[in-house]
Structure formats: C-alpha cells, structure tokens
Amino acid sequence: MTHPTSELKYRPDIDGLRAVAVIAVVLYHSFPTWFVSGFIGVDVFFVISGYLISTIIMGQLERGSFSLADFYSRRIRRIFPALTTVLLATLLFGWAVLLHGEFRQIGKHVAAGGGFVSNLVLWWESGYFDNAANTKPLLHLWSLGVEEQFYLVWPLILWLLFARRMNFLLITAVIFVLSMAANVLSIDTSPSAVFFSPLTRFWELMSGGVAAYLHLHHRPWSARQQGLASGAGALLLLAGFALIKPQMLFPGWWAALPVLGAFLLIMAGPGAWCNRLLLSRKAAVWIGLISYPLYLWHWPLISYSYILFGEKPPYQVKFAVVAAAFVLAAATYRLLELPLRAVTDKKRVVGGLAGAMVALSVAGLAISAGMVKERIDAHGADIYLNALNDSDFPGPLFVPLRHDGITFQKLSSPGKGLTVFLGDSVMQQYGPYVEQQVREHGAQTSSIIFATAGGCPPIPGVIRLPLAKFPRCRQAVDAAYALAAGPAVDTVVIGAAWNGYFQADNSNLQIDDGGARLTFPQAPAMEAAYQSLQRGMAALRARGKRVVLVLQPPSGDAYDPRRMYTGSRWSSIHPLPEIRAVALDRYQADNAAPLARLRAIAQQTGAELIDPSQFLCAANACPVLDASGQPLYTDPIHMRPAYVKRAAAYLRPAIDARG
C-alpha cells in the first residue's frame, strides 16, 4: 500500500447523497404505490457507509494510530444514542397497543436490534406464514445488522492488508467477486437469504471501501472526469429508481445500478457539477445530517400506523407520520446526538450507552419469553389471539427431500406404496394428520412426500407475483409433477386454495399459454389454467397413477380468528358474539364456478374427488368453533393442526398401504 495523498475531509455532497437515500426509503415505505423503487436507498447507504468508515480506518492505519477498541468506541458513540432511544420508544408504545403475540415478537426484535442480528432473525422468520412486513415495527433494522456484521471483519481485513503490505485492490476484488457471485447465483433459489445475509451484501459496502482507497492512494481525477462520473452516477441512480420494482428479485444484478451510481457520485468529488449544484444544497445537507435518526424513526411510526389503522391507513395519517418522523429525527440529532458528541469523557459515554443497550436487549428477551405482560386486557379474547399463526408443518417426522433443485418433505413408513401430496399451503395443512396416521398406524400407511410450495397453485405454467416472495413457484410445481410421475409413486393427491385462485381478484397470478403471458382474473387466463391442470392430471393418469383431487375445505372471513374479537388497542379487546357455523349452501353458491369446473376435471380425467365439506359440515352447517368455543381455523383458509388431526379422516384412503 502506498502513502495517502489526502485525508478525510467533510463533504457536504455526501450528506446530500444521504438525503437522496433516506428520502427514497421514507417515500417508498410511506407511499409504496407512488414511489415503488425507493428501497434501493438502503443500497446507497451501504456504499456511503463503506466509504466513510474505510477512509477513517485507512487514514489511521497509515498514521499508525488505528485501534480496534477506539474504532468500536466510535461506532457506539455514533450509533447507540439514536438507536437506544428508538428501541425504547418502540417497546414502550408496543406495550401500550400491541396484543400478546405481537408484544412478544416486538420483544424479540428489540433484542435482535440491540444485538445487531435483526437481519438474521428476519431471515429465520421469513416464509409463507410469516407476519406481514407492515406489522413489524423494527423490520428496518436488518440493514443495521448487515452493516455491523461487515464492520466485525472489515477492519481486520484492512489491518491485515496494511500489516502485510498486500495488494488491496486484488484481495478486495476477490472478496467482492465472491460476495457478488453468492448474491447473483442464489437470488433465484433463496431470495430471502440473499436479501438478509451479510455475505451477499458485503460487496455493496466494499464498493465504498474501494472508493476510499482510490481517493487516498491514487491521483485525483481531472475536472472533466469528475463531471462525467457525477453525471453517470446520477443517471445510474435515476435508472435504478425508474427500472427496479418490488416484484423483482433483489438485490441480484439489479443492485449494481444504485451501488455503481453511488460509487461514481462519491468518486466524482464535491466539486463535480451534480455534487456541487444539487447534493450540496443546504436543504439536502440538513436532511443528510438527520438521515440516520430519520431512518430509525420513520419505520416504527409507519408500522404502528398499519397496526392501528389497518392495511390502508388514511393519507392524512401517512402525511402526519412522515412529518412526525422528521420532527423526531431533528430532535434526536439536536438534543441527543450533538450534545453527546461534545462530552469529553468518552469512556463514560460509551459505558452508559453500552449498558443501556444491554438492558434493552435483556428486556426484549424477557418480553419474548412471556415474562412481561402487555397492557391490553384481552377479556376472554385470548382463545382467538392464540389461534393466530397456529401451524405445524413440517412436523418432526418429516425429512427434507431434494428433487430437481426444490426441497420437498418426506414421511417414511414401513408400509408399502408411495403417495405424493401435490399443492400449496392448503395441502400442507394436512401434514399433522398424515404424520399422526404414520406414527399411530405404521405399516398400514404408505410413505408420503409433500411436494408442496406455500402460495403456489399446483397448476403447470402458473407464475405467482411478486417474484421476490414467490421466486420459484413455477419450478416447484414442475418439479412436483415430475416427482409424482416417477415409477415409485402409486397415488397423487392434488389440493390447493382453489376458490381463491379461481374466484378472487388474483392479478398476482399469470400463466404462460402457448408463448403468451395471460394475467388472472381475466377469463382467458382462468380457462388456460383449468386446461393446464386437466392436462397435468391426465398425464399422471396416463402413467397409471391413482389421482385424487381434493376440493378446498370451507373457507372465508367467518373462519378468521381476527374477525372474532373487537375493541380498541387503546383500551381493551373483547370477543364478538359467537358465530359458530356458516351455511354450506351459501359457501357452495359463492364458489359455484370453481367447484363445478374442478368436479368436471376430475370426472374427465378419471380422478377420484374428495369434497371436504361433505365431511366437515352437517345439516347445512360448517363449524367455525368447536364445542368449547375454540376457533377451528388459524386464518380464513387454513385449519388448525388439532382440528386437522381429528377431522381429516377423509384423506385416510389416499395414504393406505398398497397390497
């Protein structure tokens, strides 16, 4: 490494770039249908952070003054004041307005935020049955987790490169390529892992590190080069905002647009035309100065607005939330961050901040463990609250099975035969029943494979949007049909949330039909899907398979435990008057079209048909609650495991051992 030609100087244009990033994120979170690509502001933050921190570390290494203890002390003084304040405020407000399960989750997320592992916790939680992102007030701390995990290793890498006089650009390029490759190669199969993992995000922060190295160790660019870099960087950022959409798989290759754009704007320097005329304006610089507390405050406020006002908070609430975020951010900066920076006893500040963070994390763990009760009195609504998110798939007897790059679940039995359950989460809900039968009856049952994917219609050619949440629906369904067609398989049981796919407004479903991409709920798309399902079932029958088509169990809002209680989060929650059953004839009338078409497909393909309503309902009544008043469903379409175990006997003939 050569001697630096310059040291870090304050650059107002970088604060302006911070302003662009944070405004993009705030607008996206506040008005997601207006500014759909604002989430790429986080990627801009990563580059800025990598540049500033790397510049400081490299300069100190050159002067022989670098210390890991001093580095982390500076990080604590920079990050902890606003973060501890926001964590405490979020926790206290959560105690006031959250229900039991929600309060326990916020406790877990406070502990994760305090330990800078929010990204890992959210990665672990991600899945089809995960809570909506809007109901997680500390969701945004995932990016802070990625940053701090990066800074656990990056200072050590820089120290090693400096101490051994190794080629910085070569070693950095190798790490950069490995991180970028992990990002690009895994985005199709593991989008949640790629989004939250530090390993697939390091290249973004390292881009800032490369900019720092080039500024410190290479001759400055000419004015013309700076101008070109500034313009190109601005265009790349604009291209990112124009082209990147939430339904895309991200980061992947698309993240290169905001990352390279930010890199070029930083490399251009404060004198370049875009940096000087736009990014260095007073308003932009001021927003940049409060960008960190603004980022921390904005999402808890937005999330609580969704929790309190429902899926679509009024626009006046949204505007009020944005204004409140700016006020709180400015107050945090002026009244907390600046005064603490002026304190001369740094050790005392660090000790106090670290102690506060540890205390918050311990409190979060206690709340997560149920040791602290929320304020709201449920007044008998607990049985409905406890029914939410009650699922058990895969159970302990299942083992993963890979087929064509997709992971399914297998349940082995000493009995002869192999049955494949093919479908979505509505088919997965039968897992507890099947597992119970294998455990209790052993050789009398066949082995079973659940070739299922939550949220993915078991119809060849159908694509589920957004791809970020359902990246491999089509591949999973293709793999499931290929597995079901194998010579070892005797019986194929196909089931799904048919009523929702074919009856509701499903513009998030598409199907490829002879090269044309058709979108639901348009009639041509629905017809193409019915025909595709029929062809798939007919192909299995042609291979000698016993095919069983399972209609969707009775479903609807009346089954949703969330509709069984009322009250105010500001006071208390009360159960509503009980609706113990819904009328079978009304359910059948509401879903007449898909029910009739699926019956016809079963008849035309020679498949057996199972209608769960004939077993779950009696005297024109389909129960919503059991005899003790417990909800039978966990949401509008999924039955609870305990109910499935005692009520799904209609599936037993499909899993009987052969011969």
pLDDT greater than 50 at residue 3:
no
Confidence of residue 568 (pLDDT cuts 50, 70, 90): low
Please report which residue ranges of 448-522 form alpha helices under DSSP H: 473-484, 498-503
Euclidean distance between CA atoms 105 and 95, whole angstroms: 11
What is the pLDDT averaged over residues 536-546?
96
Band (pLDDT 50/70/90 cuts) for residue 567 is low
Please tell me the distance from the alpha carbon of residue 573 to that of residue 383, in angstroms, as a whole number: 12
Q: Measure the CA–CA gap between 70 and 372, rounded to whole angstroms.
A: 37
* C-alpha dist (Å) from residue 93 to 133, 135, 200, 446: 18, 14, 34, 52
| End-to-end Cα distance, the chain | 75
Nearest 5°: phi and psi at 515? Answer: 90, -15
> Contact 300/308 with Cβ under 8 angstroms?
no
More reliable by pLDDT, 220 or 77:
77
Residue 4 pLDDT exceeds 50: no
Question: Quick one: DSSP state of residue 577?
Answer: P
Contact 13, 169 (CB under 8 A): no
The answer to whether residues 579 and 558 touch, using CB atoms and an 8 Å cutoff, is yes
Tens of pLDDT, residue by residue over 279-328, are 999 999 999 999 999 999 999 999 999 988 887 899 999 999 999 999 99
pLDDT digits (tens, 9 = 90+) for 609-630: 999 999 999 999 999 999 888 8
Query: Of 589, 593, 577, 567, nearest to 625 (Cα)?
Result: 577
What is the reported pLDDT for 580?
83
Q: Which residue has the higher pLDDT, 304 or 376?
A: 304
Please tell me the predicted confidence (pLDDT) of residue 111. 98
Burial class (CB in 10 A: 0-12, 13-18, 19+), 221: middle
Q: pLDDT grade, residue 470 (50/70/90)?
A: confident
Find the range with the poorest average confidence among 204-208, 309-313, 416-420, 446-450.
309-313
Q: Is the pLDDT of residue 504 over 80?
A: no
Amino acid at 371: M
What stretch of H or E contains 70?
helix 68-97
At 260 the pLDDT is 98
pTM for this predicted structure? 0.81
Q: Kindly state the average pLDDT of the residues 59-84.
A: 95
pLDDT digits (tens, 9 = 90+) for 327-364: 999 999 999 999 999 999 999 999 999 999 999 999 99
User: Which residues sit opposite 572 in a β-bridge?
Assistant: 377
Average pLDDT taken over every residue of the chain = 91
Predicted confidence at residue 236, as pLDDT, reads: 98
Is the model's pLDDT at 640 over the cut of 70?
yes
Q: What pLDDT, on a 0 to 100 scale, did the predictor assign at position 8?
A: 66
State residue 77's pLDDT score. 96
Q: Which of 10-24, 206-220, 466-480 has the lowest mean pLDDT?
A: 466-480
Q: Which range (207-216, 245-254, 430-439, 452-461) has the least confidence? A: 245-254
Is the pLDDT at 406 greater than 50? The verdict is: yes
Instruction: Note whether 110 and 82 are within 8 A (CB).
Output: no
pLDDT over 80 at 75, yes or no:
yes
Q: How confident is the model at residue 659 (pLDDT cuts 50, 70, 90)?
A: low
Q: Residue 570 pLDDT > 80, yes or no?
A: no
Residue 644 to residue 393: CA distance in whole angstroms:
12
The reported pLDDT for the residue numbered 9 is 84
pLDDT on residue 387: 84
Dist CA 430 CA 423 (whole Å): 11
Determine what percent of the chain is predicted with pLDDT higher than 70: 95
pLDDT for 572 equals: 67
> What domains can you pick out in the chain, each with its CATH number?
12-368 (no CATH), 391-554+583-617+640-655 (3.40.50.1110)
pLDDT digits over 147-176, tens only?
A: 999 999 999 999 999 989 889 999 999 999
Q: Is the pLDDT of residue 5 over 60?
A: no
Nearest to 582 by CA among 536, 532, 632, 539: 632
Looking at residue 385, what is its pLDDT? 78
Q: What's the average model confidence in pLDDT over 38-60?
A: 96
pLDDT top residue among 508 and 316: 316
Q: Once rounded to an integer, what is the mean pLDDT over residues 525-549?
A: 96
| pLDDT for 91 beyond 70 | yes
What pLDDT does 6 receive? 47
> Cβ distance 415 to 374 under 8 Å?
no
- The dihedrals phi and psi of 360, each to the nearest 5 degrees, come to -65, -40
Calculate what percentage of the chain has a pLDDT beyond 90.
74
Classify residue 336 by its DSSP letter: I
